[in-house]
Structure 1
Amino acid sequence: MRRHQQSSACRNPPAGGGAADGRALPDRGLRAGVPAGRGEPALQGHPRRGPQAARRARGEGGRPCRHRRAGGRYLPPGRRTGRRPHRRRPSQARLLHVALVEGFGRCLADRGCALQRADRAGAVNQPIPAPLRSAAGSTAWQQYSVLIVDDEEGMRSFLHKMLAGRCSLVETAGSAEEGRTLFNRIHFDLIILDISLPGKSGVEWLDELREGGFQGDVILITAFADIDTAIHALRAGAADFILKPFRVDQILNAIRKCFDRARLLRENFVLRREVAELSGGIEGIVGCSDAMNRLCQMIKRVAAMPSTVLLQGESGVGKEVAARALHSMSPRAQRPFVPVNCGAISPELIESELFGHAKGAFTGASEAHHGLFYYARGGTLFLDEIAELPLPMQAKLLRVLEERMIRPVGSTREIPVDIRVVAATNRNLADEVRHGRFRHDLFYRLDVVNIVIPPLRQRREDILPLAGHFAAQLASHLGLPAVPLDDGIAARLQAYDWPGNVRELKNLVERSLILGYFPLDALPEGGVTETVASAAALDAVEKSHILEVLAACGGNKSEAARRLGVSRKTVERKLAQWGA
């Protein structure tokens, strides 16, 4: 009670300068009855610091007194009972959040177009500025499709109404799972994605989209300004990062920039095709025969389509060159082209090489490894010698082609992949299916577009152009002078049957550059047909050679396959065919 009365007296001193009971107050530098900031300065002196503290308090020089309070009242150390509690300095992220929110609030208030959020069942009404109404409503956006993923029904309705009359297709989803379902069924050029979603967040789904090879743009929207989230989103490949609430012109400008980029990519693709047509051919493909002209026309027609392509032809005809031409003329030209020889990988490692593996999936898997499907995302995967795949692996490849999802070895997580598959083989897959060495369902899945590349002996008019092309290319690469090609050499080149096709011709040209002359002794007179009477004789020579190599290896099929330059499966297939 006494303490309460004393504190009350200190707060309300009498006007005469004494205490509440009439006693005089001791002079401690504070004059009672004179409010702080009025009349004479409250602090006349300091019992221990002397007149210097008083001069600083009156502003007559020196640093200001450290005991000054916000109200202008000065208290010596013994009277600092009214000091405010210490406040922690706000972080940079908090300052950024406050500045962005206040800035957006001022802009919305000034322009009079504040975003009116409705309830979950309602819509969002916001006036569209007149200058943007005509620009966004043009027909330039009619070729694009948009997916809107947001858990707020009002926001979805607002964005859908804003874009429905401008774009060819606008779909909405309330979660990442619903968006994934629509994404797997429909092609979208742009995705407007909210970060805070039920279940999987927008940033997590963005990572999966990029891992799957999605080439379109993604605009992230959020009501929370977090620097780490913004940096993660931009590093993951987001085209823009917009805070809620946003202005209509802000979201429309972001969408316009995305569509402009998509338009430039398409125009670049069209220009590349026009340049190829004006040049009369395709880069890497050389020839003037009718067969090669038909092949070039087929490649130009098929390149723009996302369909799977099966290339068939003898070894050395240039199946990989045709596959690269398909890739370079497709919309995926800016993405990777990944070739893989299925016959050169052992059956035990083929699944890990194609699909990848998780850490600890098998002995020696000390860390996770991405497969070739992952590295080819967004681009083209070229599966050469597809007939060499083991039957169990054929079933897994069929599932990937149908579902566009891969599962690394030892992992339960499925990764979406957006790739184009081009397969090639030097065998007749229809015969392989009849003999049970190739799955019929995989054959039908690959045989969407079948392109047969003719052997070199069926297009002899292409031999000399190819020889000249390889001579100029290899001379520049090796730094050697070109070897003259006279009429006699040209006649011998055209008369030869070239069982190794284009690869054999290229090797001969390279050998001639190194030697300085064409080694015509390697080309028998009249071609191969005079030295080898029939295909049966060729089979006999092949059988004899393989059996000799196998005997020299002590029956080790893997070593024999290594020496022959083929896969173990090829050796086993030949032995089974001969009953050996």
Structure 2
Amino acid sequence: MNANLKRGRVEPAGSASSAPALGSILVASAEAVLAQRIARALSRRFALVEVAHSIAQAEKLRQRCAFDLLITATQLPDGSGLNWIESLRDQGVDAQVILLDDQADMDSAIAAVRAGASDYLVRPLHLARIESAVDRSFARRRHGNAANEATRPVLQQRPQELVVAHCEMVKSVCAVIKRVASTRATVLVLGESGTGKEVAARSLHAFSQRTGSFVPINCGAISPELLESELFGHAKGAFTGAHQARNGLFTYADGGTLFLDEIAEMPMAMQSKLLRVLDDQKIRPVGGNREVPVDVRVIAATNRDLAEAVRAGDFREDLYYRINVLTIRMPALRERREDVPVLAEHFVRTLADELSMPPVPITEEDIEALNTHDWPGNVRELRNVIERAVLLGISPAACLRELAQETRPEGSGAAVPEAVPGAPITLAAIEKRHIQAVLDGCGGNKSEAARKLEISRKTLDRKLQQWGRTAASPA
């Protein structure tokens, strides 16, 4: 057997400049279509990508190759993917692991972290999210295996959602990003959900020329008990199930950028610890007895009014002033309507290539429909509409009509009522109407509604409490 294959490394024929990156990946999933889609996408970039549909098949492949990364479903036909990973850890296998789950489950997420998984992804499993998780996993592996080697940034190109903009407001944002990117200043990115706050953060990192990785984390998606360990790491034996020491995201972002999304959802106790790290540039792993210096540029983001959160006692005033050194506001899509057709064309091209599907043409009817839509979900919603159109092979206008049908209240023959003609309609009213329609469509299941809206369950609960509404299901 080729020695390179045994080590999980394959040197492709041809020049080194055109060869895929060295790295071996095993994808284990009972869903053949999903596994092949992931494998096709990753094969363009990595030297060896194998697919297995059961634990038994995966083990046979592992006997031939020591894979760098394992991507596995939590449930496989012949057993639990999580139990399989735990058994591999007990055997001393140090491969990076990404777990794929059908739905967000806190017990599974906690078990995944304690088993040493580097990422835990739930549906919808977009290829872009999987590829980002793969990049983070290989970045972590490089940090662990070669501390003296500069880590290649995860971001390979400037985020195009900003580059393609025609809107003067977005051009101004780009100008600010280029001006401050090379500094170490902490940046606060504000904007509604889906406006591209992470895109702005990735742009700051890309223009900064920092040699470390861009590492994002959603502060509202991780339980308070796990957040400290996720950020700072933990020592062996720090808590039940901590069978080995584990680095946190600050360590993986050393020399690079840590993006704290939904920072307003961070628990108060963690806020004080984050403030100390920002001041001292040192972290203390959970259960550790010494501080570790880190070189991390922090970018924070939120869709909430932080000043109001400070007045309400939900956010520390000292941390607010510490992260609010420079503020970048991302405009809502309705404020940059001239960019809607341009972004739609961009998403058609990129998503057709990513999904290996033929692109759909955008007609004058489509442009009119896209321009007249309210876009409460902003750029994220536009991307999702185009992705659905590409997958189904229908026009964006038809896709919008189908989505409008889906979000009608159950048993209603009419769409959600529009505003009275001539009366002003506020953003809050649009947001409330959209969230309530999605929640009704999910039968009152708040967890399912939060997944569809791509917000945290905590954020959804807070909004419902503000409106004095309760859901039919406590889920």
Matched to 1:570, the amino acid is T
Matched, 1:326 2:204: yes
Which of 187, 197, 204 is the equivalent residue of 1:309? 187
Distance 1:283 1:304, change over 3 A: farther
What per-residue deviation string (whole Å, max 9, x for no partner) do you get for residues 293-341 of structure 1? 1111011001011100010111111111111111011130x31110111
Pair 1:576–1:537, CA change in 2 (3 A):
closer
Question: 2:418 aligns to what?
Answer: 531
Q: Does 1:567 align with 2:442?
A: no
Aligned CA distance change for structure 1 residues 375 and 540 (closer, same or farther; 3 Å): closer
Query: Does residue 288 in structure 1 map to residue 177 in structure 2?
Result: no
Specify the SS of the correspondent of 1:305.
coil
- Residue 509 (structure 1) aligned to one of 376, 381, 386: 386
Q: 1:353 to 1:531 in 2, by over 3 A?
A: same
Paired AA for residue 203 in structure 2: A
- 1:540–1:307 distance in 2 versus 1, CA, 3 Å: closer
* 3-state secondary structure, aligned to 2:192: coil
In 2, the alpha carbon distance for the partners of 1:560 and 1:493 equals: 24
Shift of 1:423: 0.6
**CA distance in structure 1 between the aligned counterparts of 2:253 and 2:308, rounded to whole angstroms:** 30
Query: Which sections of structure 2, spanning at least 5 residues, go unmatched?
Result: 1-145, 405-414, 471-475
Instruction: Read off the aligned partner of 1:567 and give its amino acid letter.
Output: S
Q: C-alpha deviations, 1:56-104, integer Å up to 9, x for none?
A: xxxxxxxxxxxxxxxxxxxxxxxxxxxxxxxxxxxxxxxxxxxxxxxxx
Larger relative contact order (C-alpha < 8 A, sep ≥ 6)?
2
Matched, 1:361 2:248: no
1:99 aligned partner: none
Q: Could you list the per-position Cα deviations for residues 216-259 of structure 1 after superposition, in whole angstroms to 9, with x for gaps in the alignment?
A: xxxxxxxxxxxxxxxxxxx7649xxxxxxxxxxxxxxxxxxxxx
- Structure-to-structure mapping, 1:137-176, within 5 angstroms: none
Partner residue, 1:577: 466
Query: Given the alignment of the two structures, is residue 463 of structure 1 paired with residue 350 of structure 2, yes or no?
Result: no
Q: Which has the larger radius of gyration?
A: 1
- Once the two structures are superposed, the pairs formed by residues 116-131 of structure 1 within 5 Å of their partners are none
Which of 271, 274, 298 is the equivalent residue of 2:176?
A: 298
How high is the sequence identity, in percent, across the aligned residues? 54
Change (3 A) 1:513 1:428: same
Q: What is the letter of the counterpart of residue 260 of structure 2?
A: L
Q: 1:290 to 1:559 in 2, by over 3 A?
A: closer
- Deviation of 1:515 after TM superposition, in Å, equals 2.2
Q: Which residue of 2 aligns with 1:480?
A: 357
Tell me, in whole angstroms, the C-alpha distance in 1 between the residues paired with 2:360 and 2:195. 24
SS at match of 1:421: strand
Which 5+ residue runs of structure 1 have no aligned equivalent? 1-234, 239-260, 262-268, 270-275
Q: Matches of 1:559 and 1:520 in 2, distance apart? A: 26
For residues 448 and 413 of structure 1, the distance between their equivalents in structure 2, rounded to whole angstroms, comes to: 29
Report the CA distance shift for 1:510/1:538 in structure 2 as closer, same or farther (over 3 A): closer
Q: For residues 272 and 185 of structure 2, what CA distance do their matches in structure 1 show?
A: 19
When residues 460 and 519 of structure 1 are mapped into structure 2, their CA distance, relative to the original with a 3 A threshold, is closer
Deviation at 1:352, TM superposition (A): 0.5
Contact 1:282 1:296 in 2 (8 A): no
CA contact under 8 A between 2:365 and 2:397: conserved in structure 1?
no
Which residue is 1:390 aligned to? 267
Residues 385 and 400 in structure 2, CA contact (< 8 A), matched pair in contact too? no
- 2:311 maps to which residue? 434
CA distance in 2, matches of 1:407, 1:320: 27
Do the aligned partners of residues 490 and 381 (structure 1) sit closer, same or farther apart at CA in structure 2, a change above 3 Å counting? same
Aligned AA (1:302): V
**Distance of 2:263 and 2:160 partners within structure 1:** 25
Contact 2:159 2:199 in 1 (8 A): no
- Check 1:506–1:567 CA distance in 2 against 1; reply closer, same or farther (3 A cut): closer
Assess, with a 3 A threshold, how the Cα gap between structure 1 residues 537 and 522 changes in structure 2: closer, same or farther.
farther
Q: Which residue of 2 aligns with 1:74?
A: none
Distance in 2 between residues matched to 1:477 and 1:551, nearest whole Å: 33
Cα shift at 1:570? 2.5
What displacement does 1:508 show? 1.4
Given candidates 278, 281, 289, the residue that maps to 1:401 is 278
Residue in 1 that maps onto 2:82: none
Deviation at 1:516, TM superposition (A): 2.0
Cα pair 1:532 1:538 within 8 Å, conserved = no
Letter in 2 for 1:481: P
Query: Kindly tell me: are residues 511 and 447 of structure 1, through their superposed partners in 2, closer, same or farther at Cα, counting changes over 3 Å?
Result: same
Over residues 461-513 of structure 1, what are the superposed CA-to-partner deviations in whole Å (9 max), with x where a residue is unaligned?
11111111111111222222222222222122112221111111111112222
Are residue 520 (structure 1) and residue 397 (structure 2) matched?
A: yes
State the distance in 2 between where 1:575 and 1:468 align: 35
Classify 1:561/1:512 alpha carbon distance in 2 versus 1 (closer, same or farther; 3 Å).
closer
Residues of 2 paired with 1:546 and 1:506: CA distance?
Answer: 18
- Quick one: structure 1 residues 347 and 297, their matched pair in 2 at CA, closer, same or farther if it must change by over 3 Å? same
Shift of residue 569 of structure 1? 3.1
Alpha-carbon spacing, 1:393–1:459, altered in 2? closer, same or farther (3 Å): same
What CA RMSD, in Å, does the superposition of the two structures yield over aligned residues? 3.4
Residue 290 of structure 1 aligns to which amino acid in structure 2? E
Q: State whether structure 2 residue 233 is matched by structure 1 residue 338.
A: no
The Cα offsets for residues 114-141 of structure 1, whole Å up to 9 and x where unpaired, read as xxxxxxxxxxxxxxxxxxxxxxxxxxxx
Q: Give the alignment of 1:63-462 within 5 angstroms.
A: 237=148, 283-285=160-162, 286-332=164-210, 334-462=211-339
Structure 1's 493 and 550: CA in aligned 2 closer, same or farther, altered over 3 A? closer
Separation in structure 2 between the aligned mates of residue 542 and residue 288 of structure 1, nearest angstrom: 27
- For 1:520, give the aligned amino acid: A
Aligned to 2:410: none
> In the aligned structure 2, how far is the partner of 1:453 from the partner of 1:310?
11
User: How much has 1:537 moved relative to structure 2?
Assistant: 4.7
- In 2, distance between residues paired with 1:330 and 1:434? 34
User: Kindly tell me: are residues 352 and 558 of structure 1, through their superposed partners in 2, closer, same or farther at Cα, counting changes over 3 Å?
Assistant: farther
When normalised by structure 2's length, the TM-score is 0.57
- Cα deviation, residue 538, structure 1: 4.5
Deviation sequence 1:402-447 (CA, Å, 0-9, x none): 1111111111110011110011111111111111111111111010
Q: Tell me the equivalent position of 2:77.
A: none
Q: 1:542 to 1:437 in 2, by over 3 A?
A: farther
Q: Is the 8 A contact 1:405 1:415 kept in 2?
A: yes
TM-superposed CA distance for 1:531, in Å, is 2.3
